[in-house]
Amino acid sequence: MTAISSNGTTFSVAGRGLKLNSREDIAPLLADLDPTKIEEVHFGGNTIGVDASLALAEWLQKASNIKIADFADIFTGRLISEIPQALTAICDALIDKTSLLELNLSDNAFGGRSVDPIVPFLTKNRSFQVLKLNNNGLGPAGGQVLANALLESANLSKAEGKTSNLRTFICGRNRLEDGSASAWADAFAAHAGLIEVRMPQNGIRMDGITSLAAGLAKNPNLQYIDLQDNTFTFEGALTGVAAWANSLRAWPELHTLNLSDCFLSANGEVPELVSTLAEGSNPKLRSLQLQNNNLEGETSQLLAENIMENMRGLKSLELQWNDFEEDDENMNTLKISLKQRGGKLFVTDEDEEEEEDEEKEIEERAEQEAKLEMDLEDKAFKGKTEKDEADELADLMSTVKIQ
């Protein structure tokens, strides 16, 4: 498999499991590779040591047109003492890259002790639009450090009379908890131009969730929110749910909302948040995920009563692992309503498996059609006169349409 794209702008050794310890190890990959022409680099799924990182950083410093820098999962098997040095080299090399749009440092497990090398980049490079930090074990302390760096970046831009370029922030499975939530809320509010925020599985509880709702409400262009597996409420305390209900109307462009496993309902009552959605707070909403939230019949009834009028854009509704009755008639109403608009209701695991089978079938059909088209072109044009080529290709295409 070639490491360079056909147009010469993408370099990738992703997923090869290479162990790059020294300069000599990485040199063959970078040899004869013009850094000024490369727009994307993908090193994910390899392990890079300090000396190899220093060599890579020297190459990155010359990459004047780089747009996407993918360094996910590059420290497997490395000592915790190696990671800060390697991170410093890579991040410092990207600080002045005004062409950079996306940085991916996910799945590196560097933890809260190793976040400092990222701070100068987050503070000084104000061109990037996408930041991916999934599954890095940041913890509350590490999360707060990075959030404060992003806040400082936004404040520096404001002082220069500029708006933030940050559009997508992905930071799931990092144990951020309540300890860093208020710092993230402040950072989000300061950037204000976010389109996509994903922070699933972070152990953020009610107080933190409430802070995030307020911070994200300052981003009117939000389209995609994923807070799966955080906690919105406790028994007798609905502050988090109420805060998010109030914030929903701030996002008129919202099309995807994932609040599965968020304990939205303490006693099966209809969450205020769901009531707000059912009233039509987000007319562009296409995908709503509410699995495993202790929801009961009153919620299904509310959704069924409003699906046609107030939730016209909804195409995918996921309600698995709640407390609905098996013979709940409202489920049938939801299923029919969504099917009429080309959508789908998910209530059981079988629904999800069926959807996966349908997607696989579509992909296989597309591959078969592409192969057929290539075969037709080969048969039609190999060794034919221009007239023969045109006549035979027309016959072949006609046969395909009939089939």
Residue 158 amino acid letter: K
Q: What is the pLDDT of residue 239?
A: 76
Burial of 154 (0-12, 13-18, 19+ CB in 10 A): buried
Tell me if 170 sits within 8 A of 200, measured CB to CB.
no
Give the HSE-up count for residue 117: Cα atoms under 13 Å, Cβ half-sphere.
Answer: 19
Which H, E and C letters describe 238-258, residue by residue? CHHHHHHHHHHCCCCCCCEEE
Supply the pTM of this predicted model. 0.87
H-helix or E-strand spanning residue 289: strand 287-289
Q: 78 — phi, psi (to 5°)? A: -90, 150
Question: Which residue pairs from 297-301 have beta carbons closer than 8 angstroms and sit at least 24 positions apart in sequence?
Answer: 297/324, 297/325, 297/328, 297/330, 298/268, 298/269, 298/270, 299/265, 299/270, 299/271, 299/274, 300/324, 300/328, 300/330, 300/331, 300/334, 301/330
The domain tally of the chain equals 1
In 3-state terms, what secondary structure has residue 198?
Answer: strand
Residue 398 amino acid letter: S
Q: Domain containing 37: what range?
A: 1-130
Residue 8 belongs to some domain of the structure: yes
> Do you know the residue count of the chain?
403
Closest by CA position to 32, among listed 66, 65, 4: 4
Q: What is the pLDDT of residue 386?
A: 53
Residue 100 belongs to some domain of the structure: yes
Q: What's the CATH number where 52 sits?
A: 3.80.10.10
In angstroms, the CA 143 to CA 136 distance is 10
Q: What is the pLDDT of residue 365?
A: 75
Tell me if 132 sits within 8 A of 102, measured CB to CB.
yes
Residue 397 belongs to some domain of the structure: no
Residue 122 belongs to some domain of the structure: yes
Residue 249 belongs to some domain of the structure: no
Fill in the DSSP letter of residue 295.
Answer: -
Residue 103 belongs to some domain of the structure: yes
Residue 161 belongs to some domain of the structure: no
Tell me if 63 sits within 8 A of 32, measured CB to CB.
no
Q: What is the pLDDT of residue 385?
A: 52
User: Residue ranges of the chain with pLDDT lower than 50?
Assistant: 381, 384, 396, 399-403
Q: What is the pLDDT of residue 368?
A: 75
Closest by CA position to 122, among listed 94, 99, 142: 94
Residue 251 belongs to some domain of the structure: no
Residue bearing tokens 């390697």: 86
